[in-house]
Chain A
Amino acid sequence: MEDVGEKFLQVVIALAIFAAIIGLIMLLVDRAPKSFRDKATIIGFLAPAGILLTVGMVWPAVQTTFLAFTDRDGNVNGLDNFIWMFTEPTALVTLRNTVLWVILVPTISTIVGLVYAVFIDKAHGERVLKALVFMPMAISMVGAGIIWNFMYAYRGTEQDQIGLVNQILVWFGGEPRQFLLDAPWNTFFLIVVMVWIQVGFAMVVLSAAIKGIPADIVEASRLDGATAWQQFWSVTIPSIRGALIVVVTTITIITLKVFDIVRTMTAGNYDTSVVANEMYTQAFRANEPGRGAALALVLFLMVLPVVLYNARQLKKQKEIR
């Protein structure tokens, strides 16, 4: 009880302080001399966000970058962590897996999502069909990992299967398999989980974009005698190009950061580790913060171009409008 009261009081005080600061900024901006007022407005309102960003993001980023060049005891060790990353066999497997994830997940998710969106467009029961594919998006990645762990669960030939996938294999006369133990195929079985989640996102965005294609273009192509295939390639795809790029880049960014699925399903064992998972393992379990930071830095450099491209595309689209 006291706790609840105390927390409420804290919230009220925090809100009051926030209001007071905003009020003060507004007052100061309003009182500024006329010649300076525009600049004062900009600085006044950007400064709080700017300061928070510096404290919460820029400074830790700088620290992490520095940490990437130090060893376990905090001494500078030059490029050792990066040399480790690109020469140690297990670290190389981690990089290879991340590349696999980044190539496969966005491509497969987008293609499957697009095809599904095109086929169910204006179909009977479209909403239900959409909801079915979109639902996995609502499950957290840890939850999805646990669900799929059961899907892939293994029991020997003499025992009753408890995993759906192996049970199906057995029904068709096959031998049960250890899906998560055999490299490199286990990585693909993990990728399936991510695709299962992301297809829904791709499908919903692309479906909306398809519905946004002006009816006159579609009609004109039909009058010109375009086949369904020609319509798809020459009308649909170019018209939804912007949405496609957003979908691909967004899924790429999510995939680069994948951590939860790998951690819950294999904990990075059996050659399935990815950069984000290895970063955590090195920094917090192996007590090698330098290596963890180096992996974080590489991950950042991998995500950066995708984010920049994503931002530039958004800007371009705005200019066209």
Chain B
Amino acid sequence: MANIRSKKAVLPLAALSVLALTLSACGGSEGDGGGEEPAANCSAYEEYGTFEGEEVSVYSTITDSEQDLLENSWADFEECTGIEVAYEGSNEFETQVLVRAQAGNPPDVAIFPQPGLLAAQAREGYIKPAPPEVEALVDENWSEDWKSYGTVDGTFYAAPMLASVKGYVWYSPTTFEENGWEVPATWDEMMELSQTIADSGIKPWCAGFESGEATGWPGTDWIEDVVLRQAGPEVYDQWVAHEIPFNDPQITEAWNTVGDILKNEEFVNGGFGDVRSIISTNVDVAGDPVVEGECAMYHQATFQAANWPEGTDISENGDIWAFITPGEEAGSSAITGGGEFVAAYNEGEPITAFLSYMASAEFANNRVEQGGAISANQGLDASLASSDLDRQSIELLQSEETVFRFDASDLMPGAVGANSFWSGIVEWINGTPTEEVVDTIESSWPE
């Protein structure tokens, strides 16, 4: 710095260089749309039209690496149509989207993981009904069930996006083989296996329900899986629609069945501690002990595939594999699952173009090809799936035999599905008896 004689020169120089950096950074992000390589074949995107310089803001729960994959999957769309998708992902989406809608500052498009929340927003008049083009695409690509999750009081609002199959039990095939354990075919076999593993000195199960203000949600998946398998799809539907109370004996029984695993000190919580460490263990790391052999089984949806440490071989004979939580009888194929729904708060041609693309088979193929995601879109080519597990899940979703039910907590009113059900699970793991917890949740159900 000796060549700068006067100290006075330093400040303006520093300011200038900062400005230059900022400007070049801005310039860089602008450049993306232009693209140096005219690579993308735009013929597939001609039907959406071109909207040079238009911007569509998108808000959702998807963050981190999943966000990058999602953004990649509409990069060509952006390049060919000229629409810039301003994406924002947030862990506080469920509350912030309500705040923003009330404040008159909603995003153009929001991707809802809970049909219940979507319905509440639609009933309050914030969300615009889906344009006819989008509805036509959904009729073509999705089953009636999936369309109905985006429909509120007879009006169709939001197209489904991606899906996840819940209720997988992740395990390590190597550990299983070394110890001579077999993948169970029924719930009873799974309980016997748990006991065998516990007797051998390893905790059979690990779990983690901590997830910031959404703490407790992984527990709701456990309950839902058991309600569907033990009480059946009819009871499941009545439970969701509140035709039977939350503290109905059949529901309480499901809680107790789950409790036989999660509230049993012998069975949990491998790698972390006692039963109560479930609620203080973060959901993203809760499965890690399976890889290290400190825990044998971990119950989580397909999206867990993205949470395993880098380099983990996910295959039938590799480090990690998964089986669907078994039903009471062998071979029953009832599964719960979730998905996202793309809804618009504003109207306009660029928004319609974006919504149409998101409902199309191209988007589903583009996204699934990159791995870590599946979709129930009928136009999806299962062979594109990046892993055997994804392929298996897509086939399950597309199969006629499968009894599919949407994640119950996401269908229930927000006051239950995103509040008292979560906090109820937390209280329950922390030691409150089942009856007390289900009574409290029932009393919180809005009339």
List residues of chain A with CB under 8 Å of any chain B CB.
1, 3-4, 72, 153-159, 176, 178, 180-181, 263, 267, 269-270, 280-281, 284-288
Q: Tell whether B219 is near chain A: CB-to-CB under 8 Å.
A: no
Q: How far is the CB of B217 from chain A (nearest CB, A)?
A: 12
Given contacts A1-B30, A269-B215, contact A287 B423 (CB under 8 A): no
Of chain A, the residue at the smallest CB distance from B426 is A269
Of chain A, the residue at the smallest CB distance from B414 is A287
A-B residue pairs in contact (CB < 8 Å), sample of 14 = A1-B23, A1-B27, A4-B22, A154-B273, A154-B277, A155-B277, A156-B277, A159-B272, A181-B280, A269-B423, A284-B95, A284-B98, A285-B415, A287-B446
Q: How far is the CB of B72 from chain A (nearest CB, A)?
A: 24
State A31–B151 Cα separation when bound (angstroms): 64
Q: Tell whether B120 is near chain A: CB-to-CB under 8 Å.
A: yes
Besides the known contacts A181-B280, A267-B212, 13 further A-B residue pairs in the complex with CB atoms under 8 A apart: A1-B23, A3-B26, A4-B22, A4-B26, A154-B277, A159-B272, A263-B213, A269-B279, A285-B95, A285-B415, A285-B418, A286-B444, A287-B446
Q: Tell whether B413 is near chain A: CB-to-CB under 8 Å.
A: yes
State A281–B23 Cα separation when bound (angstroms): 41
Q: By the criterion CB–CB under 8 Å, are A285 and B94 in contact?
A: yes
Q: By the criterion CB–CB under 8 Å, are B279 and A181 in contact?
A: yes
Chain B contacts with A in 1-30, Cβ cutoff 8 A: 22-23, 26-27, 30
Q: Tell whether B338 is near chain A: CB-to-CB under 8 Å.
A: no
State A4–B19 Cα separation when bound (angstroms): 11
Of chain B, the residue at the smallest CB distance from A263 is B213
List residues of chain B with CB under 8 Å of any chain A CB.
22-23, 26-27, 30, 94-95, 98-99, 120, 212-213, 215-216, 269, 271-274, 276-277, 279-280, 413-415, 418-420, 423, 426-427, 430, 444, 446
Majority SS of interface residues in chain B?
A: helix
B213 neighbours in A (Cβ, 8 Å): 263, 267, 285
Q: By the criterion CB–CB under 8 Å, are A270 and B426 in contact?
A: yes
Q: By the criterion CB–CB under 8 Å, are B446 and A285 in contact?
A: no
A156 neighbours in B (Cβ, 8 Å): 269, 272-274, 277
Q: By the criterion CB–CB under 8 Å, are A178 and B277 in contact?
A: yes
State A212–B257 Cα separation when bound (angstroms): 69
Which of A1, A72, A178, A286 has a CB less than 8 Å from the CB of B419? Answer: A286
Q: By the criterion CB–CB under 8 Å, are B430 and A181 in contact?
A: yes
Which of A153, A181, A280, A288 has a CB less than 8 Å from the CB of B276? Answer: A181
Q: By the criterion CB–CB under 8 Å, are B415 and A287 in contact?
A: yes
Q: By the criterion CB–CB under 8 Å, are A159 and B418 in contact?
A: no
A4 neighbours in B (Cβ, 8 Å): 22-23, 26
Q: By the criterion CB–CB under 8 Å, are A72 and B277 in contact?
A: no
Q: How far is the CB of B128 from chain A (nearest CB, A)?
A: 21
Counting chain B CB atoms within 10 Å of each CB, the highest count among A158, A176, A269 belongs to A269
Counting chain B CB atoms within 10 Å of each CB, the highest count among A1, A3, A181, A285 belongs to A285
Q: By the criterion CB–CB under 8 Å, are B280 and A180 in contact?
A: yes
A159 neighbours in B (Cβ, 8 Å): 271-273
A1 neighbours in B (Cβ, 8 Å): 23, 26-27, 30
Q: By the criterion CB–CB under 8 Å, are A155 and B27 in contact?
A: no
B420 neighbours in A (Cβ, 8 Å): 286
Q: How far is the CB of B399 from chain A (nearest CB, A)?
A: 36
State A176–B27 Cα separation when bound (angstroms): 53
Q: By the criterion CB–CB under 8 Å, are A284 and B99 in contact?
A: yes
B269 neighbours in A (Cβ, 8 Å): 156
The 4 closest A-B pairs by CB, nearest first: A156-B273, A284-B95, A286-B415, A267-B213
B274 neighbours in A (Cβ, 8 Å): 156
Of chain A, the residue at the smallest CB distance from B294 is A159
Of chain B, the residue at the smallest CB distance from A284 is B95
Of chain A, the residue at the smallest CB distance from B215 is A267
Q: How far is the CB of B303 from chain A (nearest CB, A)?
A: 22
Of chain B, the residue at the smallest CB distance from A264 is B212
State A259–B412 Cα separation when bound (angstroms): 27
A176 neighbours in B (Cβ, 8 Å): 273
Q: How far is the CB of B411 from chain A (nearest CB, A)?
A: 15
